[in-house]
């Protein structure tokens, strides 16, 4: 369920009497249209942004570029206006027109229209019955929560006036409700608001469990801290780092978002002891250098996460605001933790593999570059060498190692510049999944004394040849 902001309180496994009512005065939905067709609606951060600049009005028309992110089930669209302001459009198959259901955007410039429309169907609201008998609305069932509504309907609870005891735990964007089976109160016979008064008896406990599993979702936590990093010259420098903790169900979509924006990141292994608190709460954690994030992108992340938490430990035995926020979020039960880790396993595996390949590329690329230089000493921008076991190519931008027997790419690295101190080329891996990549055996072969001596010997031979053929100096 979507939590009402006006409640202003986080529930922590607290008992309450819940009464369901219908929202008789729903606010208008902020629908975004493209050429008159519905694309989706503004999220709450975008609504606040429009209101801040006095632009939240019906029939507002403006130009923007659109980019799609995520899979079909979790797709989102980010719109960027001509002045550089970005905001998120939530796509929903309950809202969007047929022509736009499968639409994917990649920087297209379009004309958007904001349309404030009153929902055709009234939503069901969960209320707390207070001591004086009044009802305090705490959450609303939206059109995207079909599974939650069906779970309650099977238990005979999704009806106006349904009353039951529950324990409530807030998750910022969702409420976790554990229903007390003996507390269920049904309306008198004949008062059901339904065309069909025949009910089937179901077991409540499994239904309640399914309901809880469907609606739990962890809030995204953006945080910042300082991290010691080793530079190319071997020295250590403290660099500002941005962390993004997302629900494990959102890891794959977040990973694609960062890659589409060409933002370098590190996705930490859930078993990494440094993020044990996050793993217990079903979080996947991304780390990025702050310098790799543009100001508009960082602003977009802060808006989507409702700010950024400081995560440095400033004093011994102290706790940072970020970790304090983490500890305020109840850990998920172990079965849910393992289920979400399993659901995101492919994303974690690929990211961990990427990290391994990054490390191996940094070791092998400079050696392979030197090896190619002595095998193809031509002065051209491109170089090529083919041996019985490996083939080396440099196209002026990328250095590639290919297995000559299988044709599989072992390494692909892009030249990013020259190190200031060592004057050697610097490389960034562009690991071509699903190729196997560099193995540890490959690294040992490239770094072996035999390979190093071969390169040295060839360089000395080339040096002698240049001395022999060099023209005499003019006096």
Residues 174, 181: Cα–Cα separation, whole Å: 21
Residue with tokens 């109160």: 185
Average pLDDT over residues 298-310: 89
Q: What is the pTM of this model?
A: 0.40
Instruction: Report the range out of 170-184, 292-306, 338-352 with the highest average pLDDT.
Output: 292-306
Residues 21, 160: Cα–Cα separation, whole Å: 5
Instruction: Name, in order, each residue with C-beta under 8 angstroms of 91's C-beta and a sequence gap of 6 or more.
Output: 39, 40, 75, 76, 77
pLDDT at 475: 44
Instruction: Strands of 235-282 (E only): list them.
Output: 236-247, 266-267
- Name the strand (E) or helix (H) holding 15: strand 14-22
Residues 115, 35: Cα–Cα separation, whole Å: 12
User: How deeply is 180 buried, as exposed, middle or buried, from its count of CB atoms within 10 A (0-12, 13-18, 19+)?
Assistant: middle
In tens, the pLDDT along 372-415 reads: 999 998 888 899 999 999 999 999 889 999 998 888 888 988 88
* Residue 194 pLDDT grade (very low, low, confident, very high; cuts 50, 70, 90): very low
Residue with tokens 């507390």: 183
Q: Domain extents for the chain?
A: 2-25+121-192+199-215, 29-117, 221-343, 351-467
- Name the strand (E) or helix (H) holding 222: strand 221-230
pLDDT at 8: 54
Instruction: Report the range out of 119-123, 289-293, 471-475 with the highest average pLDDT.
Output: 289-293
Residue, of 338 and 232, whose pLDDT is higher? 338
Average pLDDT over residues 144-148: 66
Helix and strand tally (H, E) in the chain?
A: 11, 22
Instruction: Name, in order, each residue with C-beta under 8 angstroms of 102's C-beta and a sequence gap of 6 or more.
Output: 72
The sign of the dihedral angle between the CA atoms of 394, 106, 345, 228 is positive
Average pLDDT over residues 113-128: 85
In tens, the pLDDT along 417-465 reads: 776 555 666 787 876 555 678 887 888 899 999 999 999 999 888 876 6
* Residue 309 pLDDT grade (very low, low, confident, very high; cuts 50, 70, 90): very high
In tens, the pLDDT along 29-61 reads: 899 998 888 888 888 778 888 888 888 899 999
Cα 165-171-173 angle, rounded to 5 deg: 105
pLDDT at 215: 43
pLDDT(146) > 90: no
For residues 244 and 349, the answer to whether their CB atoms sit within 8 Å is no
pLDDT(214) > 50: no
Which whole-number Å values give the CA distances from 191 to 124, 157, 188, in the listed order?
17, 14, 6
Residue, of 44 and 275, whose pLDDT is higher? 275
Residues 40, 92: Cα–Cα separation, whole Å: 6
* Residue 217 pLDDT grade (very low, low, confident, very high; cuts 50, 70, 90): low
User: Which of 172, 161, 85 lies closest to 125, judged by CA?
Assistant: 161
Average pLDDT over residues 345-369: 77
Residues 379, 374: Cα–Cα separation, whole Å: 11
Which whole-number Å values give the CA distances from 407 to 36, 433, 467, in the listed order?
50, 14, 38
Average pLDDT for the chain: 77
Residues 230, 225: Cα–Cα separation, whole Å: 16
């Amino acid at each position: 369920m979507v939590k009402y902001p006006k409640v202003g309180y986080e529930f922590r496994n607290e008992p309450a009497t819940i009464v369901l009512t219908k929202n008789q005065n729903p606010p208008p939905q902020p629908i975004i249209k493209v050429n008159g067709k519905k694309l989706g609606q503004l999220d709450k951060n975008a609504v606040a942004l429009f209101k801040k600049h006095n632009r939240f009005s019906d029939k507002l028309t403006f130009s923007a570029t659109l980019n799609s992110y995520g899979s079909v089930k979790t797709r989102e669209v980010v719109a960027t206006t001509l002045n550089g302001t970005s905001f998120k459009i939530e796509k929903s198959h309950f809202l969007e027109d047929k022509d736009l259901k499968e639409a994917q955007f990649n920087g297209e410039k379009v004309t958007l229209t904001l349309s404030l429309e009153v929902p055709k169907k009234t939503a069901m609201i969960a209320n707390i019955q207070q001591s004086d008998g009044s009802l305090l609305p705490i959450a609303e069932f939206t059109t995207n929560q079909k599974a939650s509504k069906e779970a309650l309907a099977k238990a005979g609870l999704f009806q106006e006036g349904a009353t039951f005891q529950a324990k409530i735990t807030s998750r910022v964007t969702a409420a976790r409700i554990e229903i007390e089976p003996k507390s269920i109160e049904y309306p008198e016979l004949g008062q059901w608001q339904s065309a069909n008064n025949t009910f089937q008896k179901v077991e409540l406990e499994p239904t309640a469990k399914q309901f809880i599993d469907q609606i739990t979702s962890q809030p995204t936590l953006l945080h910042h801290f300082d991290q010691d990093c080793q530079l190319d010259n071997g020295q250590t420098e403290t660099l500002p780092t941005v962390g993004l903790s997302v629900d494990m169900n959102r890891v794959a979509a977040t990973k694609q978002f960062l890659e589409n924006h060409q933002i370098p990141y590190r996705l930490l292994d859930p078993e990494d002891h440094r993020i044990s608190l996050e793993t217990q709460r079903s979080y996947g954690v991304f780390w990025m250098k702050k310098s790799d994030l543009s100001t508009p992108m960082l602003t977009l992340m802060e808006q989507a996460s409702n700010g950024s938490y400081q995560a440095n430990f400033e004093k011994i035995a102290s706790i940072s605001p970020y970790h304090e926020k983490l500890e305020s979020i109840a850990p998920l039960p172990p079965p849910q933790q393992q289920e979400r880790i399993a659901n995101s396993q492919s994303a974690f595996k690929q990211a961990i593999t990427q990290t391994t390949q990054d490390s191996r590329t940094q070791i092998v690329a400079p050696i392979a570059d030197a090896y190619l230089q002595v095998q193809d000493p031509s002065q051209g921008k491109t170089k090529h060498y083919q041996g019985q076991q490996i083939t080396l190519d440099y196209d002026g931008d990328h250095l590639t190692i290919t297995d000559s027997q299988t044709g599989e790419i072992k390494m692909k690295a892009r030249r990013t510049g020259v190190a200031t101190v060592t004057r050697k080329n610097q490389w960034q891996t562009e690991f071509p999944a699903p190729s196997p990549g560099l193995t540890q055996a490959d690294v040992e072969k490239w770094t072996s004394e035999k390979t190093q001596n071969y390169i040295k010997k060839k360089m000395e031979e080339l040096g002698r040849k240049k001395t022999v053929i060099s023209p005499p100096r003019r006096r």
